[in-house]
Amino acid sequence: VAVGTPSQADGRVELGHVEAAVRQIARGTPCALVVIKSTVPPGTCDRMQALAHAEGGTGVRVASNPEFLREGRAVQDFMQPDRVVIGARDAADAAIVEQLYAPLDASVLHCSPEEAELSKYAANALLAARISFINEMSAIADRIGADITRVSSIVGSDARIGPAFLGAGLGWGGSCFPKDVHGLARVAEDLGLAAPMLTATIEANLRQRQRALGAILELVAARPDARVALLGLAFKPETDDVRESPAVWLAHELHERGIAVRATDPWALANAERVGPRVTYTLDPMRAVDGADVTVLATEWPEFVALDWPEVARRMRGDAVLDARNALPSDLLRSSGLVYRSLGRDVLGR
Protein backbone atom coordinates (compact mmCIF):
# COMPACT_ATOMS: atom_id res chain seq x y z
CA VAL A 1 0.00 0.00 0.00
CA ALA A 2 1.69 3.16 -1.23
CA VAL A 3 -0.94 5.89 -1.20
CA GLY A 4 -0.99 9.50 -0.11
CA THR A 5 -1.28 10.43 3.55
CA PRO A 6 -1.88 14.19 3.41
CA SER A 7 -2.03 16.51 6.38
CA GLN A 8 -5.32 17.62 7.83
CA ALA A 9 -5.84 21.25 8.80
CA ASP A 10 -4.55 20.58 12.32
CA GLY A 11 -1.42 18.78 11.09
CA ARG A 12 -2.67 15.28 11.84
CA VAL A 13 -2.35 12.67 9.11
CA GLU A 14 -5.34 11.80 6.94
CA LEU A 15 -5.47 8.00 6.62
CA GLY A 16 -8.53 7.77 4.39
CA HIS A 17 -6.61 6.49 1.35
CA VAL A 18 -4.82 3.84 3.41
CA GLU A 19 -8.09 2.69 4.97
CA ALA A 20 -9.79 2.51 1.57
CA ALA A 21 -6.95 0.40 0.15
CA VAL A 22 -6.98 -1.99 3.11
CA ARG A 23 -10.76 -2.38 2.89
CA GLN A 24 -10.53 -3.18 -0.80
CA ILE A 25 -7.78 -5.75 -0.23
CA ALA A 26 -9.60 -7.39 2.68
CA ARG A 27 -12.81 -7.78 0.69
CA GLY A 28 -11.05 -9.27 -2.32
CA THR A 29 -8.30 -11.30 -0.64
CA PRO A 30 -9.31 -12.52 2.81
CA CYS A 31 -5.87 -14.01 3.51
CA ALA A 32 -2.96 -11.79 2.49
CA LEU A 33 0.13 -10.00 3.73
CA VAL A 34 -0.44 -6.26 3.36
CA VAL A 35 2.71 -4.14 3.39
CA ILE A 36 2.27 -0.43 4.09
CA LYS A 37 4.90 1.81 2.51
CA SER A 38 3.03 5.05 3.10
CA THR A 39 4.22 7.29 5.93
CA VAL A 40 1.74 6.65 8.73
CA PRO A 41 1.58 7.32 12.50
CA PRO A 42 2.85 4.60 14.83
CA GLY A 43 0.15 2.05 15.52
CA THR A 44 -1.40 2.30 12.06
CA CYS A 45 -0.42 -1.23 11.02
CA ASP A 46 -2.26 -2.73 13.97
CA ARG A 47 -5.29 -0.53 13.32
CA MET A 48 -5.32 -1.49 9.64
CA GLN A 49 -5.09 -5.18 10.53
CA ALA A 50 -8.10 -4.80 12.82
CA LEU A 51 -9.92 -2.96 10.03
CA ALA A 52 -9.13 -5.73 7.54
CA HIS A 53 -10.46 -8.37 9.92
CA ALA A 54 -13.64 -6.35 10.43
CA GLU A 55 -14.09 -6.24 6.65
CA GLY A 56 -13.91 -10.02 6.36
CA GLY A 57 -10.19 -10.41 5.73
CA THR A 58 -9.64 -12.51 8.83
CA GLY A 59 -6.36 -13.88 7.49
CA VAL A 60 -4.87 -10.49 6.60
CA ARG A 61 -1.61 -9.52 8.30
CA VAL A 62 -0.21 -6.01 8.05
CA ALA A 63 3.49 -5.09 8.07
CA SER A 64 5.39 -1.83 7.68
CA ASN A 65 8.07 -1.18 5.07
CA PRO A 66 8.54 2.60 4.95
CA GLU A 67 10.21 4.20 1.96
CA PHE A 68 13.18 6.53 2.35
CA LEU A 69 13.28 7.98 -1.17
CA ARG A 70 14.39 11.49 -2.05
CA GLU A 71 12.52 13.49 -4.67
CA GLY A 72 14.67 13.69 -7.77
CA ARG A 73 16.62 10.60 -6.66
CA ALA A 74 13.84 8.05 -6.15
CA VAL A 75 15.02 5.40 -8.63
CA GLN A 76 18.61 5.63 -7.43
CA ASP A 77 17.53 5.45 -3.79
CA PHE A 78 15.32 2.43 -4.49
CA MET A 79 18.02 0.53 -6.35
CA GLN A 80 20.80 1.49 -3.91
CA PRO A 81 19.10 1.95 -0.53
CA ASP A 82 20.98 2.88 2.63
CA ARG A 83 18.78 0.39 4.44
CA VAL A 84 15.53 -1.51 4.14
CA VAL A 85 13.31 -1.34 7.22
CA ILE A 86 10.78 -4.13 7.78
CA GLY A 87 8.40 -3.95 10.70
CA ALA A 88 6.43 -7.15 11.18
CA ARG A 89 4.91 -9.11 14.05
CA ASP A 90 5.71 -12.47 12.50
CA ALA A 91 9.16 -13.61 11.35
CA ALA A 92 7.65 -15.46 8.40
CA ASP A 93 5.97 -12.27 7.17
CA ALA A 94 9.23 -10.36 7.56
CA ALA A 95 11.02 -13.02 5.51
CA ILE A 96 8.49 -12.66 2.69
CA VAL A 97 9.07 -8.91 2.50
CA GLU A 98 12.84 -9.34 2.72
CA GLN A 99 12.77 -11.73 -0.21
CA LEU A 100 11.37 -8.96 -2.40
CA TYR A 101 14.63 -7.07 -1.88
CA ALA A 102 16.87 -10.06 -2.63
CA PRO A 103 18.10 -8.64 -5.98
CA LEU A 104 19.38 -5.53 -4.19
CA ASP A 105 22.54 -5.31 -2.12
CA ALA A 106 20.83 -3.72 0.85
CA SER A 107 21.13 -3.78 4.61
CA VAL A 108 17.84 -5.09 6.02
CA LEU A 109 16.74 -3.97 9.47
CA HIS A 110 13.99 -5.88 11.25
CA CYS A 111 11.79 -4.39 13.95
CA SER A 112 8.20 -4.08 15.13
CA PRO A 113 5.63 -2.22 13.01
CA GLU A 114 5.57 0.65 15.52
CA GLU A 115 9.34 0.98 15.39
CA ALA A 116 9.33 1.04 11.59
CA GLU A 117 6.56 3.63 11.50
CA LEU A 118 8.29 5.84 14.06
CA SER A 119 11.69 5.50 12.37
CA LYS A 120 10.34 7.09 9.19
CA TYR A 121 8.93 10.06 11.08
CA ALA A 122 12.04 10.39 13.22
CA ALA A 123 14.37 10.36 10.21
CA ASN A 124 12.53 13.15 8.41
CA ALA A 125 12.08 15.21 11.57
CA LEU A 126 15.79 14.97 12.37
CA LEU A 127 16.80 16.04 8.86
CA ALA A 128 14.41 18.99 9.04
CA ALA A 129 15.80 19.89 12.47
CA ARG A 130 19.35 19.97 11.09
CA ILE A 131 18.28 22.45 8.43
CA SER A 132 16.40 24.60 10.94
CA PHE A 133 19.40 24.53 13.27
CA ILE A 134 21.93 25.62 10.66
CA ASN A 135 19.55 28.36 9.52
CA GLU A 136 19.47 29.70 13.07
CA MET A 137 23.27 29.63 13.04
CA SER A 138 23.21 31.56 9.75
CA ALA A 139 21.38 34.43 11.46
CA ILE A 140 24.08 34.51 14.13
CA ALA A 141 26.75 34.39 11.42
CA ASP A 142 25.31 37.48 9.74
CA ARG A 143 25.31 39.40 13.03
CA ILE A 144 28.94 38.59 13.88
CA GLY A 145 30.38 38.80 10.36
CA ALA A 146 30.99 35.10 9.78
CA ASP A 147 30.47 32.94 6.68
CA ILE A 148 27.95 30.20 7.48
CA THR A 149 29.22 28.00 4.65
CA ARG A 150 32.61 27.78 6.36
CA VAL A 151 30.96 27.18 9.72
CA SER A 152 28.84 24.39 8.21
CA SER A 153 31.92 22.82 6.66
CA ILE A 154 33.78 22.86 9.96
CA VAL A 155 30.84 21.47 11.93
CA GLY A 156 30.13 18.83 9.28
CA SER A 157 33.75 17.65 9.31
CA ASP A 158 33.09 16.18 12.75
CA ALA A 159 32.60 12.46 12.16
CA ARG A 160 29.87 12.42 14.80
CA ILE A 161 27.85 14.97 12.83
CA GLY A 162 28.61 14.73 9.11
CA PRO A 163 27.96 17.34 6.40
CA ALA A 164 24.51 16.32 5.14
CA PHE A 165 21.60 18.73 5.57
CA LEU A 166 23.79 21.51 6.95
CA GLY A 167 23.28 23.92 4.07
CA ALA A 168 21.79 27.20 5.25
CA GLY A 169 19.21 28.80 3.01
CA LEU A 170 15.50 29.43 2.65
CA GLY A 171 14.51 26.40 4.68
CA TRP A 172 12.73 23.16 3.98
CA GLY A 173 9.55 22.48 2.05
CA GLY A 174 8.16 19.80 -0.23
CA SER A 175 5.67 17.04 0.39
CA CYS A 176 7.47 15.20 3.21
CA PHE A 177 9.23 17.35 5.79
CA PRO A 178 6.34 19.75 6.51
CA LYS A 179 3.78 16.96 6.67
CA ASP A 180 5.92 14.61 8.73
CA VAL A 181 7.22 17.12 11.28
CA HIS A 182 3.71 18.44 11.90
CA GLY A 183 2.35 14.90 11.95
CA LEU A 184 4.91 13.70 14.49
CA ALA A 185 4.22 16.71 16.68
CA ARG A 186 0.54 15.76 16.67
CA VAL A 187 1.40 12.14 17.50
CA ALA A 188 3.27 13.37 20.57
CA GLU A 189 0.40 15.67 21.50
CA ASP A 190 -2.14 12.87 21.21
CA LEU A 191 0.04 10.79 23.53
CA GLY A 192 0.05 13.59 26.08
CA LEU A 193 3.72 14.36 25.47
CA ALA A 194 5.48 17.67 24.96
CA ALA A 195 7.63 17.86 21.82
CA PRO A 196 9.34 21.28 22.00
CA MET A 197 12.09 20.33 19.54
CA LEU A 198 9.54 19.52 16.85
CA THR A 199 7.71 22.78 17.49
CA ALA A 200 10.97 24.72 17.41
CA THR A 201 11.97 23.04 14.14
CA ILE A 202 8.75 24.25 12.52
CA GLU A 203 9.00 27.75 13.99
CA ALA A 204 12.64 28.18 12.96
CA ASN A 205 11.76 27.20 9.40
CA LEU A 206 9.02 29.83 9.24
CA ARG A 207 11.35 32.46 10.71
CA GLN A 208 13.89 31.80 7.98
CA ARG A 209 11.31 32.57 5.31
CA GLN A 210 10.39 35.77 7.11
CA ARG A 211 14.06 36.65 7.34
CA ALA A 212 14.46 36.30 3.57
CA LEU A 213 11.32 38.35 2.98
CA GLY A 214 12.60 41.06 5.29
CA ALA A 215 15.90 41.21 3.41
CA ILE A 216 14.10 41.65 0.08
CA LEU A 217 11.78 44.34 1.43
CA GLU A 218 14.76 46.22 2.81
CA LEU A 219 16.49 46.09 -0.58
CA VAL A 220 13.44 47.46 -2.45
CA ALA A 221 12.32 49.95 0.21
CA ALA A 222 13.29 52.98 -1.87
CA ARG A 223 11.40 51.79 -4.97
CA PRO A 224 7.63 52.50 -5.05
CA ASP A 225 7.40 50.43 -8.27
CA ALA A 226 9.74 47.68 -7.11
CA ARG A 227 10.43 44.67 -9.31
CA VAL A 228 11.87 41.38 -8.08
CA ALA A 229 13.24 38.52 -10.16
CA LEU A 230 12.77 35.13 -8.51
CA LEU A 231 15.14 32.42 -9.71
CA GLY A 232 13.52 29.14 -8.73
CA LEU A 233 10.07 27.95 -7.66
CA ALA A 234 10.54 24.25 -6.85
CA PHE A 235 11.27 23.54 -3.20
CA LYS A 236 14.65 22.11 -4.26
CA PRO A 237 16.52 21.42 -7.53
CA GLU A 238 15.82 18.40 -9.74
CA THR A 239 12.09 18.29 -9.03
CA ASP A 240 9.00 20.12 -10.24
CA ASP A 241 7.40 19.92 -6.79
CA VAL A 242 6.24 23.28 -5.44
CA ARG A 243 4.35 21.94 -2.43
CA GLU A 244 5.24 24.01 0.64
CA SER A 245 7.96 25.66 -1.45
CA PRO A 246 9.64 28.61 0.28
CA ALA A 247 10.07 30.20 -3.15
CA VAL A 248 6.35 30.12 -3.92
CA TRP A 249 5.68 31.50 -0.43
CA LEU A 250 8.06 34.39 -1.15
CA ALA A 251 6.37 35.09 -4.49
CA HIS A 252 2.99 35.22 -2.75
CA GLU A 253 4.17 37.50 0.05
CA LEU A 254 5.86 39.92 -2.35
CA HIS A 255 2.81 39.98 -4.63
CA GLU A 256 0.55 40.71 -1.65
CA ARG A 257 2.70 43.76 -0.91
CA GLY A 258 2.28 45.14 -4.42
CA ILE A 259 5.75 44.19 -5.62
CA ALA A 260 6.00 43.04 -9.23
CA VAL A 261 7.50 39.55 -9.35
CA ARG A 262 8.85 37.78 -12.41
CA ALA A 263 9.65 34.15 -11.61
CA THR A 264 11.48 31.42 -13.49
CA ASP A 265 12.17 27.72 -13.00
CA PRO A 266 13.35 25.08 -15.50
CA TRP A 267 10.88 22.41 -14.34
CA ALA A 268 8.26 23.83 -12.00
CA LEU A 269 6.54 26.64 -13.92
CA ALA A 270 3.36 24.71 -14.72
CA ASN A 271 2.90 23.58 -11.13
CA ALA A 272 3.64 27.04 -9.76
CA GLU A 273 1.11 28.62 -12.11
CA ARG A 274 -1.57 26.26 -10.79
CA VAL A 275 -0.98 26.93 -7.10
CA GLY A 276 1.00 30.14 -6.94
CA PRO A 277 0.15 33.82 -6.93
CA ARG A 278 -0.55 35.94 -9.97
CA VAL A 279 3.01 36.80 -10.86
CA THR A 280 4.73 36.78 -14.24
CA TYR A 281 6.31 33.44 -15.17
CA THR A 282 9.01 32.84 -17.76
CA LEU A 283 11.30 29.96 -18.70
CA ASP A 284 14.11 32.36 -19.57
CA PRO A 285 16.05 33.55 -16.50
CA MET A 286 17.39 36.51 -18.45
CA ARG A 287 13.85 37.69 -19.12
CA ALA A 288 13.15 37.29 -15.43
CA VAL A 289 15.97 39.65 -14.45
CA ASP A 290 15.18 42.27 -17.10
CA GLY A 291 14.47 45.52 -15.27
CA ALA A 292 14.58 43.90 -11.83
CA ASP A 293 15.62 45.90 -8.80
CA VAL A 294 16.48 42.75 -6.86
CA THR A 295 17.26 39.26 -8.09
CA VAL A 296 16.67 36.42 -5.62
CA LEU A 297 18.17 32.95 -5.93
CA ALA A 298 15.38 30.92 -4.35
CA THR A 299 16.22 27.45 -5.71
CA GLU A 300 19.84 26.49 -6.36
CA TRP A 301 19.42 25.08 -9.86
CA PRO A 302 22.90 24.70 -11.45
CA GLU A 303 21.85 26.77 -14.46
CA PHE A 304 21.03 29.70 -12.20
CA VAL A 305 24.31 29.48 -10.33
CA ALA A 306 26.14 29.42 -13.68
CA LEU A 307 24.31 32.41 -15.19
CA ASP A 308 26.23 35.09 -17.07
CA TRP A 309 26.25 37.43 -14.10
CA PRO A 310 27.85 40.39 -15.91
CA GLU A 311 24.93 40.15 -18.36
CA VAL A 312 22.51 39.94 -15.44
CA ALA A 313 24.00 43.15 -14.07
CA ARG A 314 23.49 44.88 -17.43
CA ARG A 315 19.86 43.79 -17.66
CA MET A 316 18.80 44.68 -14.12
CA ARG A 317 17.49 48.12 -13.21
CA GLY A 318 18.89 47.77 -9.71
CA ASP A 319 22.02 46.01 -8.55
CA ALA A 320 21.06 43.83 -5.56
CA VAL A 321 21.17 40.03 -5.55
CA LEU A 322 19.91 38.02 -2.58
CA ASP A 323 21.55 34.61 -2.55
CA ALA A 324 18.91 32.85 -0.45
CA ARG A 325 20.63 29.48 -0.97
CA ASN A 326 24.24 30.53 -0.35
CA ALA A 327 25.21 29.01 -3.67
CA LEU A 328 26.30 31.91 -5.89
CA PRO A 329 29.88 32.95 -6.73
CA SER A 330 30.00 36.10 -4.62
CA ASP A 331 33.32 37.33 -6.04
CA LEU A 332 31.99 37.15 -9.61
CA LEU A 333 28.81 38.98 -8.65
CA ARG A 334 30.70 41.78 -6.94
CA SER A 335 33.16 42.12 -9.82
CA SER A 336 30.15 42.39 -12.14
CA GLY A 337 28.96 45.45 -10.23
CA LEU A 338 26.26 43.67 -8.25
CA VAL A 339 25.59 44.08 -4.54
CA TYR A 340 25.73 40.61 -2.99
CA ARG A 341 23.48 39.72 -0.07
CA SER A 342 22.84 36.32 1.47
CA LEU A 343 21.39 34.40 4.39
CA GLY A 344 24.46 33.68 6.45
CA ARG A 345 27.44 35.02 4.59
CA ASP A 346 26.76 38.71 4.23
CA VAL A 347 30.35 39.20 5.33
CA LEU A 348 31.20 38.41 1.69
CA GLY A 349 29.12 41.35 0.53
CA ARG A 350 30.92 43.91 2.65
Q: Is residue 60 part of a domain?
A: yes
Q: Please give the tally of structural domains in the chain.
A: 2
Residues 340 and 258 grouped into a single domain:
yes
Cross-strand pairs, 34: 62
Residue 53: pLDDT over 80? yes
Which pLDDT score, from 0 to 100, does residue 75 have? Answer: 92
Which pLDDT score, from 0 to 100, does residue 276 have? Answer: 72
Residues 31 and 147 grouped into a single domain:
no
The residue-averaged pLDDT of 171-188 equals: 97
What is the set of active-site residues?
176
Using CA atoms of 188, 194, 200, 202 in order, give the dihedral in degrees to the nearest 10: 20
Residues 65 and 136 grouped into a single domain:
no
- Cα Rg for the chain, rounded, in angstroms? 23
Residues 149 and 252 grouped into a single domain:
yes
Q: Is residue 218 part of a domain?
A: yes
Q: With contact defined as beta carbons under 8 Å apart, do 284 and 310 qualify?
A: no
Residues 166 and 81 grouped into a single domain:
no
Query: Predicted confidence band at 348 (pLDDT cuts at 50, 70, 90)?
Result: low
Nearest to 87 by CA among 33, 17, 6: 33
* 281 phi, psi to nearest 5 deg: -115, 145
Residues 223 and 77 grouped into a single domain:
no
Residues 135 and 105 grouped into a single domain:
no
Residues 350 and 232 grouped into a single domain:
yes
Neighbours of 308 (CB within 10 A): 13
Q: With contact defined as beta carbons under 8 Å apart, do 186 and 10 qualify?
A: yes
Q: With contact defined as beta carbons under 8 Å apart, do 296 and 322 qualify?
A: yes
Give the domain extent around 195: 129-350
Q: Is residue 11 part of a domain?
A: no
Residue 350: pLDDT over 70? no
Q: With contact defined as beta carbons under 8 Å apart, do 329 and 173 qualify?
A: no
pLDDT in tens, 234-245: 999 999 999 999
pLDDT in tens, 79-120: 999 999 999 999 999 999 999 999 998 999 999 999 999 999
Which pLDDT score, from 0 to 100, does residue 56 have? Answer: 96
Residues 284 and 169 grouped into a single domain:
yes
Length of the chain: 350
Residues 192 and 340 grouped into a single domain:
yes
Q: Is residue 124 part of a domain?
A: no
Residues 243 and 315 grouped into a single domain:
yes
Q: Is residue 265 part of a domain?
A: yes
Q: Is residue 4 part of a domain?
A: no
Q: With contact defined as beta carbons under 8 Å apart, do 169 and 326 qualify?
A: yes
The residue-averaged pLDDT of 142-164 equals: 98
Q: With contact defined as beta carbons under 8 Å apart, do 43 and 9 qualify?
A: no
Query: Predicted confidence band at 275 (pLDDT cuts at 50, 70, 90)?
Result: confident
**Which one of 111, 137, 153 terminates a domain?**
111
Query: Predicted confidence band at 4 (pLDDT cuts at 50, 70, 90)?
Result: very high
Residues 76 and 179 grouped into a single domain:
no
Q: Is residue 68 part of a domain?
A: yes
- Is pLDDT larger for residue 348 or for residue 210? 210
CATH number (domain holding residue 194): 3.40.50.720
* 186 phi, psi to nearest 5 deg: -70, -35
**Which one of 61, 77, 111 terminates a domain?**
111
